[in-house]
């Protein structure tokens, strides 16, 4: 046992050294010199040969050399870094503009932040302010960048921190990496002029028209307020230089209304983007299929911030689309965990039988597929009953016994129609997102046996966080026709405004996503969600939810049936 603990300790220490070594790549542009060490004269080195941008991108983002082999680096402590663990992006992020790790600012390492001349203060530089940017050092050259990466010496020949690993890059790969750094922030920002920031919101043709109007009411009013009171959404910044550099630009909203089948949406979006380039897509509303919009934004490198969709695209590979949660897919995970836990606790030998009811082609079908797959992996049998258009929900309940589990993936009209029949099971679950959440029309005789998947905070828990938005709607006479969608849209606008205020004028699309990731967990007003976080590589800001039930005696108020779960 003690030997095992020792091994675990050694592994933990090795991982800590590896993490520190990765962070050290962040110190490249910082020119950190440990006290008491002598300076070294820069060696005369030829400029590394020019290589392909794709090779430099692979080195920077994935830690893969031009040969296809993983990059290798050695830390002074004896820890070897290899492949993705040694990629520059781990610390400097995809944009190359750095980040914040605890109390440390990770400096930018794109070309203009490396080659700027020495200055007494940031006020003397004509480049956007970025946290961690350094002014008090000589500019880097291709040769000194190569030396820093290989030998751990800064632009003046001073040793970098001992955390800096030495990277084994040949001249071709080094040239590719340096070339990539030069190209990272040399293009003009898209959708940005000296006076205007352009944003789009996207609406699919099958989106709920009531929710569409509610969302657009919020977006248009928020943009109008922002343009009348620009400082209202831009908190005062601490540095006078930041204030001098920052320009309060007018926000302009473009509504991209799609039409026709999903196979045509890509070309429609391409035309919209060509006619009016935008910096980002904000909010938006989808129906049964958001994937073409998601894929377009990824291909065109356009940030898509918190669209209102019930079935987002579930992937860990993409970067530009971020969502509040996984929607009905999260509900399926919550239900799978609860149903399997209760099945395991049964004292009888009879196996749990689960029945699912949904309408063919609706988003409930996607939730049912996800739940069936999850329960199959837990050894729970599932049978589905899909309702065709016009088919009555009551007919789908025949043959279900009191000992079975019934899961309803239905909209309010079908939920209301259940009043004509008694519940066939003593254990009924339903999708809260599809069924109307707190306003679900579930008949009274069903409420004693029904529990809801609830991917939000409870009504009492979120009240303070949504009251500000609801008050804003009231003052501006915006009808509350879809409270959750409208609150989410208002939250997305606030998140964008706060993030842009921290970006100052560094209008890089990748940097927008990264700054949202950095500041989101510190956000206090998070609307319907108890907490929002987006670590690098994550696409869903809210990870969990509740199973809720109707509280006695009136069966109107929703209360938690167990703790908050993160499946």
Looking at residue 271, which CATH number applies to its domain? 3.40.50.2300
**Secondary structure tally for the chain: helices H, strands E:** 18, 17
- Assigned token pair, 281: 């897509």
| Residue 89 located in a structural domain | yes
Q: Are residue 121 and residue 35 in the same domain, yes or no?
A: yes
Residues 99 and 156 in one domain: yes
Q: pLDDT tens across 248-296, in order? A: 899 999 999 999 999 999 999 999 999 999 999 999 999 999 999 999 9
The reply to whether 557 falls in a domain is no
Look at residue 30 and tell me whether its pLDDT is greater than 90.
no
Percent of the chain topping pLDDT 70: 85
Q: What's the rounded mean pLDDT across residues 324-344?
A: 96
**Is residue 556 one of the residues assigned to a domain?**
no
**Average pLDDT over the chain, rounded to whole?**
86
Clarify whether residues 169 and 201 are in a common domain.
no
Per the domain annotation, does 366 fall within a domain?
A: yes
Would you give the distance in Å from CA 418 to the centre of its chain? 37
Domain boundary among 157, 184, 211: 184
pLDDT at 52 over 60: no
* 315 & 423 share domain: no
Q: What stretches of 389-431 show up as alpha helix (H) in DSSP?
A: 412-416
Query: How many domains are there within the chain?
Result: 3
Residues 283 and 394 grouped into a single domain: no
Q: Is 467 within the bounds of a domain?
A: yes
Residues 232 and 335 in one domain: no
Domain boundary among 184, 216, 233: 184
| Strands 166-167 and 250-257, bridge-based pairing | unpaired
- Please tell me whether residue 329 adopts helix, strand or coil conformation: helix
**Residue partners of 134: CB distance under 8 A and separation at least 6:** 29, 30, 31, 107
pLDDT (tens digit, 9 = 90+) per residue, 344-382? 887 665 688 999 999 999 999 999 999 999 999 898 999
pLDDT digits (tens, 9 = 90+) for 166-220: 898 999 999 999 999 999 877 788 999 999 999 999 999 999 999 999 999 999 9
274 lies in which domain range?
A: 196-327+460-536
Check pLDDT > 60 for residue 13: no
Last-in-domain residue among 454, 481, 513? 454
Does residue 8 sit within a domain?
no
Judge whether 547 lies within some domain.
Answer: no
Q: In this structure, are 38 and 175 located in the same domain?
A: yes
pLDDT of the residue at 325? 98
Asked whether residue 245 falls in the same domain as residue 366, the answer is no
Strand ranges across the sheet with 280-282: 250-257, 196-203, 280-282, 304-305, 321-322
Backbone dihedral angles phi then psi of residue 300, each to the nearest 5 degrees? -95, 0
466 in the same domain as 341: no
Query: Are both 160 and 251 inside the same structural domain?
Result: no
Asked if residue 6 is part of any domain, the answer here is no
Is pTM beyond 0.75? Reply is yes
Of the chain, the percentage scoring pLDDT greater than 90 comes to 67
Do both 43 and 171 map to the same domain?
Answer: yes
Q: Assess whether 450 and 466 both reside in one domain.
A: no
């Amino acid at each position: 046992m003690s030997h095992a603990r020792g091994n675990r300790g050694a592994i933990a220490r090795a991982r800590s050294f590896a993490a520190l070594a990765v962070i050290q790549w962040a110190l490249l542009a910082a020119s950190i010199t440990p006290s008491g060490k002598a300076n070294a004269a820069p060696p005369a080195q030829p400029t590394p040969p020019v290589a392909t941008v794709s090779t430099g991108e692979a080195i920077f983002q994935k830690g893969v050399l031009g040969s296809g082999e993983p990059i290798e680096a050695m830390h002074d402590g004896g820890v070897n870094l290899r492949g993705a663990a040694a990629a520059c992006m781990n610390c400097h992020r995809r944009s190359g503009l750095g980040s914040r790790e605890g109390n440390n600012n990770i400096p930018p390492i794109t070309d203009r932040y490396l080659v700027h001349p020495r200055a007494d203060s940031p006020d003397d530089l004509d480049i956007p302010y970025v946290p961690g940017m350094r002014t008090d050092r000589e500019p880097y050259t291709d040769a000194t960048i190569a030396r820093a990466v290989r030998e751990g010496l800064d632009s003046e020949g001073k040793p970098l921190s001992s955390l800096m690993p030495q990277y084994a890059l040949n001249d071709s790969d080094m040239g590719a990496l340096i070339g990539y750094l030069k190209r990272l922030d040399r293009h003009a920002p898209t959708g940005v002029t000296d006076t205007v920031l352009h944003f789009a919101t996207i609406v699919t043709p099958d989106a709920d028209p009531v929710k569409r109007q509610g969302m657009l009411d919020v977006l248009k009013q928020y943009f109008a307020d922002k343009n009348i009171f620009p400082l209202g959404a831009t908190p005062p910044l601490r540095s006078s230089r930041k204030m001098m550099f920052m320009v309060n630009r007018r926000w302009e909203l473009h509504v991209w209304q799609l039409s026709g089948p999903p196979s045509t949406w890509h070309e429609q979006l391409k035309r919209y983007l060509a006619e009016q380039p935008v910096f980002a897509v904000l909010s938006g509303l989808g129906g049964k299929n958001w994937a073409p919009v998601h894929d377009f934004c990824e291909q065109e490198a356009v940030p898509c911030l918190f669209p209102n969709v019930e079935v987002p695209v579930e992937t860990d590979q993409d970067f530009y689309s971020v969502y509040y949660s996984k929607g009905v897919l999260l509900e399926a995970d919550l239900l799978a965990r609860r149903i399997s836990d209760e099945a395991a606790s049964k004292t009888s030998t009879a196996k749990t039988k689960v029945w699912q009811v949904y309408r063919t082609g609706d988003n409930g079908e996607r939730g049912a597929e996800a739940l069936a797959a999850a329960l199959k992996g837990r050894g729970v049998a599932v049978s589905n009953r899909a309702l065709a258009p016009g088919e009555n929900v009551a007919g789908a309940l025949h043959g279900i016994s009191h000992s079975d589990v019934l899961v309803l993936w239905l909209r309010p009209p079908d939920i209301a129609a259940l009043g004509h029949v008694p519940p066939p099971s003593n254990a009924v679950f339903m999708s809260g997102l599809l069924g109307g959440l707190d306003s679900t029309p579930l008949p009274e005789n069903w409420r004693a046996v029904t529990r809801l998947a609830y991917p939000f905070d409870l009504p009492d828990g979120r009240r303070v966080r949504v009251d500000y938005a609801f008050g804003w709607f009231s003052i501006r006479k915006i009808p509350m026709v879809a409270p959750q969608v409208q609150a989410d849209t208002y939250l997305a606008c606030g998140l964008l405004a706060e993030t842009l205020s921290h970006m100052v004028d560094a209008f890089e699309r990748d940097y927008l996503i990264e700054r949202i990731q950095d500041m989101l967990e510190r956000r206090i007003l998070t609307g319907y969600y108890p907490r929002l976080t987006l670590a690098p590589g994550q696409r869903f800001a809210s990870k969990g939810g509740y199973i809720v039930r109707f509280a006695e005696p009136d069966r109107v108020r929703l209360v938690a049936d167990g703790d908050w779960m993160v499946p």
